[in-house]
C-alpha cells in the first residue's frame, strides 16, 4: 500500500512568526513542467490580513528610530545570506515558476543587487542644508519614513520583484506588508526567512497571501501609506485608482509591448542572438521581453536566419541542463498563448515558426510552447495589440528608422525599447525621438542597475516615481523642512515683526 504524500502548506508571516492560516480557501502551487502539486497556499482571512497590518504599524514605532547604520548592517547580512543560498533559491523558483536554472539565478541576482543598494541607505537618505538663508537662520530637510507600506508582486519574477520592494522600504525606516503571487510564493517565503535570519525585527516585514480581497485590503486599509505594484495593466490600473482615492502613494509598473528596431548596419550575428534571447528567454514571460522587432530596409533579408536561429533553442523543463525555453507558468497561460497564435493565423499573419505542442520527453504534461515567429504583422492585429506574455515574436517591416520610431510611439505602452546599429548618429536620434521610458542601444533588455530607477512610461506606468534607485527613496519617504534660528543669550530683542520675511 502506497502512503499518500503530505502536501506542505505555505505559511503567513505575521509579527515575526510563520503561522498556519485558518482560512478555508486554498490554492495549489503547481510545477508547470510536471503538474505536480508542490504546496498549498492560503487565501488569508480578513482577520489575518488585518493582524499583519497591525503588526507592521506597531513595529514602525521603534523601527523608524532605529539607527540608519543598524538598518544598513541588516542588509549587508541579508545580501550575504542570499548569496550563500543562491542555488537553493533558484531551485525553488524553477520548480514553481518554470524558469531555467540559470534564468532563475539571474532572477535572484537582480533582486540581490537592490539589497546591496539598500545597504548603502546611509548615503541615499541624506537631506539637504542651507546655512544662513537669512541672518542667523538655517534651513534643512529630513527624509523621514512614511509608516506601513505594502507591495503586490507578479508571478514572473517571484524573487526579483519582492526584492525590489521591501528592502528599500524597510531600509528607509518603514515597515512592510508583502503580497506575493499566489502562483509561486515559495521562493518569496524563503527570502522572507532569510530576511528574519539577517536581523529584520518582528513586525517589520509581514507576508500575506490571497487574491482580489488581499489586493483590495492593501488599497483600502487606512494604516497603509504607500502601495507598490508590478503586474498586469488591468490590475495595476485598479490598484492605482483605488489606492490613490484612499489617499495613498502608489506606483504601478504594468503591461508592455516592447519593440526593437534593427538597422542594416547592425552587427548581424550579435543582433540575431540578442533578438532570440530577449524574445524567447524565460518563455517570453518578462515585462521587458522583446515581442516585436521592426526590420528596417535591407535588414529585412535577415528574417530567414532569425527563424533558423530560433529553431536551435531547446524546449524542456527548467531543471534540465541545456534548456533554453522552459514551460509557461500555468495551463491557463498555455491555453491563452496558443489561442493568440491561432488568432494571428486567422487574422492573416504569416506563421514562420509554430511552437505549439512541442514534444518534450519525460514531461508530456508540461505547459510547453516553443519559439514562435510571425511575419507580415500589422499594428491592427490582435497579436500585436495584446501582451501575449509567451515566446511569440512578431516581425514588422519599415523602410526607414523614422517610420519604425513612429510605430513605437503610436503604441500605448512605453516600458522598453531597443535599437541595433553601429551608427552613433542613428543611436542619438533614436534616444531623442523615442517616447519610451527605458531605451537600449544594442542592449535588448535595458533594465537599469539599482543606482538608477526603473522608468517605464505612458501606459506601462502609473505614478511619478519608479522602483529602486533614487526615485524609490523619494517614494518611501516624506520630506520635512526645518527652518531654525538660535539667539545668543545676551542678544537684545528687536521690534515686533509683523511680516514673515526673514532678514
CB 33 within 8 A of CB 327: yes
Q: Which residues on adjacent β-strands are paired with residue 461?
A: 253
Of the CA atoms within 13 Å of residue 6, those in its CB half-sphere come to 3
Residue of 149, 252, 287, 394 marked catalytic: 287
Q: Please classify residue 489 by burial: count the beta carbons closer than 10 Å to its beta carbon, then call 0-12 exposed, 13-18 middle and 19+ buried.
A: exposed
How many Cβ atoms are within 10 Å of 348's Cβ, its own excluded? 10
Of the CA atoms within 13 Å of residue 185, those in its CB half-sphere come to 28
Buried-exposed string 458-467: b where 16+ CB fall within 10 A, e elsewhere: ebbbbbebbb
Buried-exposed string 217-251: b where 16+ CB fall within 10 A, e elsewhere: bbbebeebbbbbbbbebebbbbbbebbbeeebbbb
Alpha carbons 188 and 337: distance in angstroms, whole number: 26
- The CA-based diameter of the chain, rounded to the nearest angstrom, is 98
Sign of torsion over alpha carbons 331, 332, 333, 337: positive
Q: Is 396 helix (H, G, I), strand (E, B) or coil?
A: strand
Alpha helices in 229-351 (DSSP H): 233-245, 268-280, 303-311, 331-346
Task: Write out the three cell numbers for 189.
Answer: 517565503
Annotated catalytic residue 287:
yes
CB 285 within 8 A of CB 256: no
| Helix (H) or strand (E) segment spanning residue 413 | strand 413-414
Active site residues: 287
Amino acid at each position: 500500500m502506497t502512503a499518500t504524500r503530505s502536501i506542505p502548506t505555505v505559511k503567513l508571516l505575521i509579527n515575526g512568526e510563520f503561522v498556519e492560516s485558518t482560512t478555508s480557501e486554498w490554492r495549489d502551487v503547481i510545477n508547470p513542467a510536471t503538474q505536480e502539486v508542490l504546496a498549498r497556499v492560503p487565501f488569508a482571512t480578513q482577520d489575518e490580513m488585518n493582524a499583519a497590518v497591525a503588526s507592521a504599524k506597531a513595529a514602525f514605532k521603534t523601527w523608524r528610530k532605529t539607527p540608519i547604520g543598524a538598518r544598513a548592517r541588516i542588509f549587508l547580512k541579508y545580501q550575504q545570506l542570499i548569496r550563500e543560498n543562491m542555488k537553493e533559491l533558484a531551485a525553488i523558483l524553477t520548480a514553481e515558476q518554470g524558469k531555467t536554472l540559470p534564468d532563475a539565478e539571474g532572477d535572484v541576482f537582480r533582486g540581490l543587487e537592490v539589497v546591496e543598494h539598500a545597504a548603502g541607505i546611509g548615503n541615499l537618505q541624506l537631506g539637504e542644508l542651507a546655512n544662513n538663508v537669512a541672518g542667523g537662520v538655517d534651513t534643512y530637510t529630513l527624509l523621514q519614513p512614511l509608516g506601513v507600506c505594502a507591495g503586490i508582486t507578479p508571478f514572473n519574477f517571484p524573487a526579483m520583484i519582492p526584492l525590489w520592494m521591501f528592502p528599500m522600504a524597510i531600509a528607509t525606516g518603514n515597515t512592510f506588508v508583502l503580497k506575493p503571487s499566489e502562483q509561486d510564493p515559495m521562493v518569496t517565503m524563503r527570502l522572507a526567512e532569510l530576511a528574519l535570519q539577517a536581523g529584520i525585527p518582528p513586525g517589520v516585514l509581514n507576508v500575506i497571501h490571497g487574491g482580489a480581497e488581499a489586493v483590495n485590503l492593501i488599497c483600502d486599509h487606512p494604516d497603509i501609506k504607500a502601495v507598490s505594484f508590478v503586474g498586469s495593466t488591468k490590475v495595476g490600473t485598479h490598484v492605482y485608482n483605488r489606492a490613490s482615492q484612499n489617499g495613498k502613494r502608489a506606483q504601478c509598473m504594468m503591461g508592455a509591448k516592447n519593440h526593437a528596431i534593427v538597422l542594416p548596419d547592425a552587427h548581424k550575428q550579435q543582433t540575431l542572438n540578442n533578438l532570440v534571447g530577449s524574445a524567447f528567454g524565460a518563455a517570453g514571460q518578462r515585462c521587458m521581453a522583446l515581442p516585436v522587432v521592426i526590420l528596417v530596409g535591407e535588414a529585412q533579408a535577415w528574417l530567414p536566419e532569425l527563424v533558423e536561429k530560433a529553431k536551435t533553442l531547446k524546449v524542456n523543463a527548467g531543471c534540465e541542463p541545456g534548456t533554453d525555453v522552459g514551460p509557461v507558468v500555468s495551463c491557463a497561460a498555455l491555453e491563452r498563448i496558443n489561442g493568440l497564435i491561432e488568432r494571428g493565423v486567422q487574422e492573416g499573419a504569416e506563421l514562420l515558426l509554430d511552437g505549439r505542442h512541442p514534444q518534450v520527453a519525460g514531461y508530456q504534461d508540461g505547459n510547453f510552447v516553443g519559439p514562435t515567429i510571425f511575419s507580415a504583422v500589422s499594428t491592427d492585429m490582435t497579436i500585436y495589440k495584446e501582451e501575449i506574455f509567451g515566446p511569440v515574436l512578431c516581425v514588422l517591416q519599415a523602410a526607414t528608422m523614422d517610420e519604425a520610431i513612429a510605430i513605437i510611439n503610436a503604441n500605448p505602452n512605453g516600458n522598453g525599447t531597443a535599437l541595433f546599429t553601429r551608427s552613433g548618429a542613428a543611436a542619438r536620434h533614436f534616444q531623442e525621438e523615442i517616447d519610451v521610458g527605458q531605451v537600449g542601444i544594442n542592449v535588448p533588455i535595458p533594465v537599469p542597475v539599482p543606482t538608477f530607477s526603473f522608468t517605464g512610461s505612458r501606459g506601462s506606468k502609473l505614478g511619478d516615481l519608479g522602483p529602486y534607485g533614487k526615485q524609490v527613496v523619494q517614494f518611501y519617504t516624506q520630506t520635512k523642512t526645518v527652518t531654525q534660528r538660535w539667539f545668543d543669550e545676551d542678544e537684545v530683542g528687536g521690534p515686533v515683526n509683523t511680516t514673515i520675511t526673514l532678514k
